[in-house]
Amino acid sequence: MSVTRLLRAAGALAVVAAPLAVSVPAMAQNKTVAITAIVQHPSLDATRDGVVEALKEAGWIQGKSLTVEYQSAQGNPATAAQIARQFAGSRPDVIVPISTPSAQAVAAATRDIPVVFTAVTDPVSAQLVKSMDKPGANITGLSDMAPVGEHVALIREILPQAKRIGVLYNPGEPNSIVLVKALKDEAGKAGLTVVEAAVQKSSDAQQAIRGLVGKADAVYIPLDNTVISALESVIAVGRQAKLPVFSADTDSVARGTVASIGFDYFQVGKQAGAIVARVLKGEKPGDITVEHAKGADLFVNPTSASAMGVTLPESVMTRATKVVGQ
């Protein structure tokens, strides 16, 4: 028997032996939440921090009534599966996988430990849930499906003469497949052509964008963990070649992309953390509707835009939620 089970058994005996003792509120009992992400980059890190903050606001304090375990797969799917099995073996109260690959690994590793995923683009196509309304089994969470149509419109507004959008993505990430399809659909409606460049691993990203020079008028980075983890090398080529780089996530704008409409991933984490709190209080994950991330901020980086040969229109600057890089 594990130490945790022994302690729980001892606690149960204590209640029987002392029925008049004051019971401890459920929220004060120590809980363990295991968090894992496919890779470390600002958006996923902010998501993790948001989960912990939401639990704190709900009454679970890290180091007191809450134990948080965290591991990153460092971009390796095999490592993600290993972490998932390790967490399943340690039996935490809830597992929180961040990103589609990590969520799929955790879902494959356990059928009974509660799972609350976040930063997953399309949970249904990723076969994590049966439906958004009724996920079923031991899993629920939060979708961060990007507003791709708004991204295309933003690129057209900033670059009205653009005809071709290059997209860097890892074909091995299911979330990226969904977003590239959405990009093709939205670009087609706007009269734009999409030029694809596959990135199997982070070290391939720089060579992939070099291959788009002369073939694309702008480059779009979807919510692709492989590419985002190597973003600085992509930005360097964009500046050198005067090839504007846009991103699906707003955190990447501070790192050098021209602009984005997206979510504050700390708030995405808090929204997911609120679901985790509901599960810790006793709700069954399979009965909790999968939520969509809330909010849509416009971030712009005029300094990086200028370095890539672009002047941001006044119409974009005036409605920007945040201006970075000045």
- Nearest Cα to Cα of residue 126 among 145, 100, 108, 97: 100
Could you give the CA distance from residue 163 to residue 161 in angstroms, rounded to a whole number? Answer: 6
Q: Does residue 274 sit in the same domain as residue 253?
A: no
Q: Does a structural domain hold residue 56? A: yes
- What tens digit of pLDDT does each residue of 85-120 get? 999 999 999 999 999 999 999 999 999 999 999 999
Half-sphere exposure of 32 (CA within 13 A, CB side): 11
Q: Going by DSSP bridges, is the β-strand pair 245-247/218-221 parallel, antiparallel, or unpaired?
A: parallel
Range(s) of the domain holding residue 62: 26-144+265-292
Q: Residue range 11-30: average pLDDT?
A: 42
- What tens digit of pLDDT does each residue of 186-206 get? 999 999 999 999 999 999 999
- What tens digit of pLDDT does each residue of 63-86 get? 999 999 999 999 999 999 999 999
Q: What is the pLDDT of residue 14?
A: 36
Q: Does a structural domain hold residue 218? A: yes
Amino acid letter, 126: A
- Nearest Cα to Cα of residue 70 among 248, 295, 55: 55
Q: Does residue 35 sit in the same domain as residue 99?
A: yes
Could you give the CA distance from residue 253 to residue 245 in angstroms, rounded to a whole number? Answer: 9
Could you give the CA distance from residue 92 to residue 269 in angstroms, rounded to a whole number? Answer: 19
Residue 21 has pLDDT above 50, yes or no: no
Q: Does residue 241 sit in the same domain as residue 94?
A: no
Could you give the CA distance from residue 94 to residue 285 in angstroms, rounded to a whole number? Answer: 10
- What tens digit of pLDDT does each residue of 219-266 get? 999 999 999 999 999 999 999 999 999 999 999 999 999 999 999 999
Q: Does a structural domain hold residue 63? A: yes
- What tens digit of pLDDT does each residue of 290-316 get? 999 998 899 999 999 999 999 999 999
Ranges 18-22, 177-181, 209-213, 322-326: which has the least confidence: 18-22
Confidence of residue 7 (pLDDT cuts 50, 70, 90): very low
Q: Does a structural domain hold residue 19? A: no
Split into its structural domains, the chain has a count of 2
Q: Does a structural domain hold residue 10? A: no
Q: Does residue 252 sit in the same domain as residue 193?
A: yes
Predicted TM-score (pTM) of this structure: 0.78
Q: Does residue 201 sit in the same domain as residue 304?
A: yes
Q: What is the pLDDT of residue 48?
A: 97
Confidence of residue 326 (pLDDT cuts 50, 70, 90): low
Per the CB < 8 A criterion, the answer to whether 105 and 232 are in contact is no
Q: Alpha-carbon Rg of the chain, whole angstroms?
A: 22
Could you give the CA distance from residue 105 to residue 97 in angstroms, rounded to a whole number? Answer: 9
Q: Does residue 229 sit in the same domain as residue 318?
A: yes
Per the CB < 8 A criterion, the answer to whether 271 and 291 are in contact is yes
Could you give the CA distance from residue 310 to residue 301 in angstroms, rounded to a whole number? Answer: 10
Q: Does residue 176 sit in the same domain as residue 236?
A: yes
Q: Does a structural domain hold residue 18? A: no
Could you give the CA distance from residue 200 to residue 169 in angstroms, rounded to a whole number? Answer: 8
Could you give the CA distance from residue 92 to residue 299 in angstroms, rounded to a whole number? Answer: 37
- CATH code for the domain in which residue 137 is found: 3.40.50.2300
Q: Does a structural domain hold residue 4? A: no
Q: Does residue 194 sit in the same domain as residue 235?
A: yes
Per the CB < 8 A criterion, the answer to whether 206 and 237 are in contact is yes
Residue 212 Cα distances to 139, 167, 218, 222, angstroms: 40, 9, 9, 16
- What tens digit of pLDDT does each residue of 114-142 get? 999 999 999 999 999 999 999 999 999 99
Amino acid letter, 95: I
Q: Does residue 140 sit in the same domain as residue 156?
A: no
Q: Does residue 139 sit in the same domain as residue 178?
A: no
Q: What is the pLDDT of residue 144?
A: 93
Angle at 301 between CA 299 and CA 304, to 5 degrees: 150
- Nearest Cα to Cα of residue 217 among 190, 246, 188, 189: 246
Q: In this structure, what token pair is assigned to residue 191?
A: 């009269």
Q: Does residue 316 sit in the same domain as residue 188?
A: yes
Q: Does residue 130 sit in the same domain as residue 208?
A: no
Q: Does a structural domain hold residue 11? A: no
Helix 77-90 vs helix 100-109: crossing angle, to nearest 10 = 40
